[in-house]
Structure 1
Amino acid sequence: MALWGGRFSAGSSSMFRQVNDSLPFDQVMAVQDLQGSVVWSRALHKAGVLSADEQAQLESALNELTRQAEAGELDFAASTEEDIHSFVEAALIDKLGDVGRKLHTGRSRNDQVATDFRLWVREHIDSLRQDLTALVRALLNTANRHRDAVIPGYTHLQRAQPILFAHWCLAYVEMFKRDLSRLDDLRKRLNQCPLGSGALAGTTYPVDRHEIAQQLGFDGPCLNSLDAVSDRDFVLELLFGASTSMMHISRMAEDLIFYNSGEAGFLQLGDEVTSGSSLMPQKKNPDALELMRGKCGRVFGALQGLLVTMKGLPLAYNKDMQEDKEGAIDTVNQWHCCLCIASEVLDSLSLNEDRCREAAAQGFANATELADYLVGKGIPFRTGHDIAGQVVLKALQQGCAIEDLPLTSLQAVCDKIDEDVYPVLQLEYGVNKRNILGGTSTETVVKALYQELEALDKQD
């Protein structure tokens, strides 16, 4: 049943319907469409359009359809309806006859879908927050299991300075906390209700838009009908937030793929998040991490696609905007899946702390400590930097670490170096010397770790 067929003498072609009909994907908003319809029926009754008996019939039928929708009992596949709105209206007419035909009075699919979609995004913000919070907890638990483990820190994928593995975990905690804050910001901005805006100019019926908004859990009504029906900023913000978060997931996956490699050997992933080779029996591949990294592309594509779609659209509603849903629905599904798998990966991994420590001690990662030691001897840092570089060259020539050079070799480069340099060159010294807010010392990291765990426990 098309909601617009009165002025047409011929039906739509099968190819046009294939392009036009949205029920195959907007059926996910069935509960939201029914929820909005209940509130709209109440508004129409209050405006004098529906009698008390008619409104009661409609609300009862809508509640029954909601129960069926939540139980997965609505047969969308067998329906020939164009979209979720016509599906619901057809179901009402089938149950109530002409009373069902009255519900759409004063309402357009334009303000209806804008309301449905905001309700759907809002609901998924709440579930995605739970997924992100679970991932933050998984990172914190992983850090807590390995509070004393030291790994190499990298710049340019070259060993740079030793850090605690827990410090690495906390870096991603900060990223995912920002993702949470973006979801919170989005929730505030989208929580305005378009219902009552009509097709583009508002409705002629005296509905109370503030009460409609309040009953649907919105902070208030949208203030301009043109903007209300044509705004998709909230979808773009969702896609941007998802893209940023997926980028964070992908970076974490890349780190773990490298740490898991035979070349690094810092950790092992659990069997439940890895797979094997059909040819090489020895292989244990980090497929979960690679898939998380790979799924970034489709999420980024959804954001870019909607930006390009929206950039040239005149006010108000245009059918191009139907392209907002499939990408957003898929993005939410992929984001949810990747967040959950990321938590599983972290819970499954086992760290080879001895191998991590060995690698952290390599690559002359204590050269900066030597330069800072020379600063303590009254040498300007830039000069100390040059001296430390010369010491590195000498160690390379002799095929040993800086701390293994004899004092005579060190003093041949700078006579201010003394026996007290050797404790400075030890691994723990470089880590724990960085005892500053945001640094990698054991004291700083453990304090930050417990602050984050305490904050999570308070949320629960």
Structure 2
Amino acid sequence: MLPFFQGDKLWGGRFVGSIDPIMEMFNSSVSYDQRMWSADIRGSQAYVKALEKAGLVSPTEMEHILTGLDQIHEEWSKGTFVLTKADEDIHTANERRLKENLRESSILDAAEMIREIDILFPGYTHMQRAQPIRWSHWILSHAVALCRDAERLGELRKRINVLPLGSGAIAGNPLGVDRELLRKDTSCKAVKGSTCSTQSELIDSSGFCKAYSLVAMAYYTLYFAPVSYHKC
């Protein structure tokens, strides 16, 4: 979760006290530069990605900020964005709304975690009730399983991303086809080492079926497990 923010002037620094209302009006440009809302949001989204790459914000913080900026973009698109008197210009307005979005997100995340962390129910092993466990601990087991499946699919992609073109019927081809050129054009990571093996190898398709069968089992278990627990 991101920390809570306090709304200060962008240029505030060490200044204390409030600005004179007349100066507030004189310094405001949001009445006409609000038409630049889309460009300002795109610039902020690009910059936060650069900050993440530089290690100044974490990937999680970057995603929170990007999501908040997407919400602001939607508000402007629908005409529901509400300007305040404190918004000096379009960037100040978007930044103020971003802080509000992040604050709301932090509160909701915290409330969700607090609400679910103390939910207890029986764990099951050998088809019978066992030790009591937390709901969060149980759902985590499915998250880990799905992450493991994602890793398995990533490994499968690397294994099957090998070029078979140019193998011919069994013994390659005599036409002088540049298989390395084919590999580059098809974005394969390597060329099949044996033309004989290419034609007789079933491990790629069987590995694909096995991996996706395990993914299907993980989703099936996640979907039907609550029903099974309820019946028990």
Shorter-chain TM-score bucket reads 0.3 to 0.5
Using the size of structure 1 for normalisation, the TM-score is 0.25
Using the size of structure 2 for normalisation, the TM-score is 0.48
